[in-house]
């Protein structure tokens, strides 16, 4: 197998399932950035994303023995991270969403850092308004460019459900974001 750092994901998963902490840490290290990115885009804020990531890593540790290698490790971990983030959003659903949509009074120029930050904040706010199941589908499609089939596998829903969630999520985002852009026109 060579060094542990060169080991295949499936080999590391088997070692981790047998209780090898070093193998698990290496595997988690390979995918922690990807998992955080999924959690961040679904949770729409850093603290919730970190909480969801922590939960996802705990679940990864608890379930590593169930990884059968039928899908890529990344697909399996997308599912764990997305579900942990959706659960975190649901737990915090009663928290008031604080965003100032009026901060975006014009479309930002590429070199306008403040404008880009305002745009990003507005998009994050709009994503935060979507129901978690729409948000997860839209994020996996738009931010990670996954296919409908991959998203269906990750979310464990039929492909037509994925298409419907993405369509409805995009429509809701357009409804939320268009007034912001029209006000600045």
- Report pLDDT digits (tens) over 77-131: 999 999 999 998 888 764 443 333 334 444 445 566 777 777 778 888 888 899 9
pLDDT tens readout for residues 51-60? 999 999 999 9
Residues 151 and 156: their CA atoms lie apart, in Å, by: 8
3-state secondary structure 4-58: HHHCCHHHHHHHHHCCCHHHHHHHHHHHHHHHHHHHHHHHCCHHHHHHHHHHHHH
Chain mean pLDDT for the chain: 84
What the block records as the tokens of 114 is: 């403040």
Under 8 Å between Cβ of 78 and 41: no
């Amino acid at each position: 197998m060579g060094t542990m750092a060169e080991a295949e994901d499936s080999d590391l998963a088997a070692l981790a399932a047998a209780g090898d902490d070093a193998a698990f840490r290496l595997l988690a290290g390979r995918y922690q950035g990807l998992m955080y990115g999924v959690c961040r885009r679904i949770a729409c804020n850093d603290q919730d994303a970190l909480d969801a990531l922590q939960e996802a890593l705990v679940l990864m540790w608890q379930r590593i023995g169930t990884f059968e290698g039928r899908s890529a490790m990344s697909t399996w971990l997308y599912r764990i991270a997305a579900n942990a983030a959706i659960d975190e959003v649901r737990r915090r659903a009663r928290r008031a969403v604080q965003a100032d949509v009026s901060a975006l009074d014009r479309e930002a120029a590429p070199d306008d850092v403040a404008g880009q930050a305002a745009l990003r904040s507005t998009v994050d706010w709009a994503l935060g308004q979507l129901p978690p199941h729409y948000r997860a589908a839209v994020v996996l499609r738009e931010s990670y460019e996954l296919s409908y089939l991959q998203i269906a596998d990750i979310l464990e829903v039929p492909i037509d459900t994925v298409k419907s969630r993405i369509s409805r999520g995009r429509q809701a985002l357009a409804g939320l974001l268009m007034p912001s852009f029209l006000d600045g026109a």
